[in-house]
Structure 1
Amino acid sequence: MNNQQLKWVYLVVLSLIWGSSFILMKKALIGLTPLQVGALRILITSFFLVLIGYNSLKKIKKKHWPYVFYSALLGTFFPAFLFAFAITKIDSSIASILNSLTPFNTFMVGALVFGFVFRKQQLIGILIGLVGTIILIAKGADMNPNQNYWFALLPITSSIGYAFNVNIIKKYLQDLEPLAITTGNFVLIFIPTLFVLTYTGFFSAFEFTSETKPALFYITILSIFGTGLAKVMFNKLIHMSSPVFSTSVTYLIPIVAVMWGIYDGEKLSFLQLLAGSVILLGVYLANRKK
């Protein structure tokens, strides 16, 4: 299988894994706090990656480490906590749709920070996507008055972090293998995350109950597959394709996440589904080649 075919395989597999991540976070939050979900997700993944990728750390040169650190913060550390907090206040399916803004932000960051050139069509696509986002949030707030849709800003902020992460990897870490980047990411944020988990009282007050046991199971599955293996695959996808193509996985993630959300009893109106489609249309226009 050549790279052209393999990148599509990666795209589909990643959409299935990450599309299921939102419902796993939601289930884990039944027995754990948002800080604990974010911290455990990083720590469990760190142990897993050190086991399979310790030797790859030798390939990281001194010039790479600053960019590996920026990648770790923007692509893993902050989003892990932001999404956990967001899902406590808004539906997991909505969070996944907002995550589809990542290609927009990848383009914007690439143009404004990394010097890519705007095309009129891309600007139109961005504006269409923003209209869809506003409709999605406004209708969600109307349908679910008990949910705080200010928390919708958290997935949007995460998508900006992802955008920086992709451009950093593509520009500064292209010569470093994906496993080394991913393992390096988690090694660097292990200690700060351990402090966060300690701050939550996890080590002093945690008890195994009917709620915390399944929560630990869900967060372990999420960590190994949704973070560890998926991050390695995603970094590989960035290497073999463009930043915009690699982030287009977020077009497909909402399809899987919305199906899980509906199965779990979440409500979506026709207008919200239409708004989600508008976002995807905008993303498509922004990234379509001439």
Structure 2
Amino acid sequence: MNRWAYISIAAGAALWGTIGLFVQELYRLGLTPLQVVALRVSCAVIFLVSYAFVINRQWLRIHIKDSPIFIGTGVISVVFFNWCFFIAIQETSISVAAILLYTAPAFVLLLSRILFKEPLTARKLVSLALTLSGCMLVVELLPNGLITMTTFGILAGIASGLFYGLYSIFGKFALKIYHPITVTTYTFIFATIFILPVSQIWTWAAYLSDLKIWLYAASLGLFPTVLAFIFYTKGLGQVEAGKASIVATLEPVVAAFIGMLFYAEVLQVWQYIGVILVIISVIAVQNISITKFNKKSKMDQSV
């Protein structure tokens, strides 16, 4: 069962890595980052609510007292992660912003230790170090190095990593109470309620008459959003939050290959090395869980 949970998380991360395909086209059509975020979460809500309404309406029921959890997953995580990430890109560079975003596993490992008492083992720390090193190579922060960064940009990038990582924390609490579809649906409902007024949708309604915008927005809302979060959240219910966050760092690896295949971006030797490091770290984390599962099964059989 754990193996399928890891596969589910990896599938979600791979779908997240396709975001650039749709976002780039929406940018070319004149939308701003904030508008793209608003369209992304809004389309996600339409897909999720429709799916839940047809398959199981019970998934649409939550207790009002649990709203703070979904404010956590939807507003504090999804909305603020995107906002801080875009600021970091503007203030520093895409490469630096991506690396700072993937400080998320470090935050998750530490918070998981405090909140869930998950052990902070040497193997987890080694896997985390391999992941971060691999990401640095993939986005070319290494070995090129010297990049001028503003303090505001660095803080925004670190904040994006924190907010991104908090989805695993809030999601862990939510999954103790609700079905993964319920968690994902209300994450985006709360995100949409917050982002639409902030994005001032009434000022850019003219864009919405363009069929191409709706095509790309629907694709963005379905593949790297709804399906990605469903896969990730479902896997998160059976895997430690810290390990899930490390596995999810497959996203920048997929994004690098997307750039190579669709935008003729050629990977350098060190980028391939980075890809290999990330894959090794994912395999290492998965093997920890499989080994523990096998030991537990043998103990159960001997009883």
Give the TM-score, by structure 1 length: 0.75
Residue from 199, 204, 228 that aligns with 1:197: 199
Q: Distance in 2 between matches of 1:95 and 1:216?
A: 28
Q: Quote the residue 1:173 is aligned against.
A: 175
Residue from 256, 259, 267 that aligns with 2:257: 259
Q: Distance in 2 between matches of 1:268 and 1:215?
A: 30
Distance 1:44 1:80, change over 3 A: farther
Aligned residues: 281
Q: Quote the residue 1:186 is aligned against.
A: 188
Residues 73-112 of structure 1 aligned to structure 2 (within 5 Å)? 73-83=75-85, 90-91=93-94, 99-112=101-114
Letter in 2 for 1:206: Y
1:26 and 2:27 aligned: no
Q: Distance in 2 between matches of 1:62 and 1:207?
A: 33
Distance 1:87 1:275, change over 3 A: same
1:6 and 2:4 aligned: yes
Tell me if the contact between 2:13 and 2:248 (Cα under 8 Å) persists in the aligned partners: yes
Q: Distance in 2 between matches of 1:207 and 1:25?
A: 15
What per-residue deviation string (whole Å, max 9, x for no partner) do you get for residues 100-122 of structure 1? 54333321222255544433454
Q: Distance in 2 between matches of 1:190 and 1:21?
A: 18
Letter in 1 for 2:207: F
Tell me if the contact between 2:15 and 2:223 (Cα under 8 Å) persists in the aligned partners: yes
What per-residue deviation string (whole Å, max 9, x for no partner) do you get for residues 4-63 of structure 1? 353244234323322212332223222211111111111111222222225345542244
User: What's the secondary structure of 1:240's corresponding residue?
Assistant: coil
Root-mean-square deviation over aligned CA pairs: 3.9
1:137 and 2:141 aligned: yes
Letter in 2 for 1:137: L
Q: Distance in 2 between matches of 1:113 and 1:251?
A: 22
Tell me if the contact between 1:99 and 1:250 (Cα under 8 Å) persists in the aligned partners: no
Deviation of 1:258 after TM superposition, in Å, equals: 0.8
Distance 1:125 1:240, change over 3 A: closer
Higher mean C-alpha displacement, 105-114 vs 150-159: 150-159
Structure 1 alignment gaps of length 5 or more:
none
Deviation of 1:159 after TM superposition, in Å, equals: 3.2
Deviation of 1:267 after TM superposition, in Å, equals: 5.2
1:47 and 2:46 aligned: yes
User: What's the secondary structure of 1:29's corresponding residue?
Assistant: helix
Q: Quote the residue 1:227 is aligned against.
A: 225
Q: Quote the residue 2:235 is aligned against.
A: 237
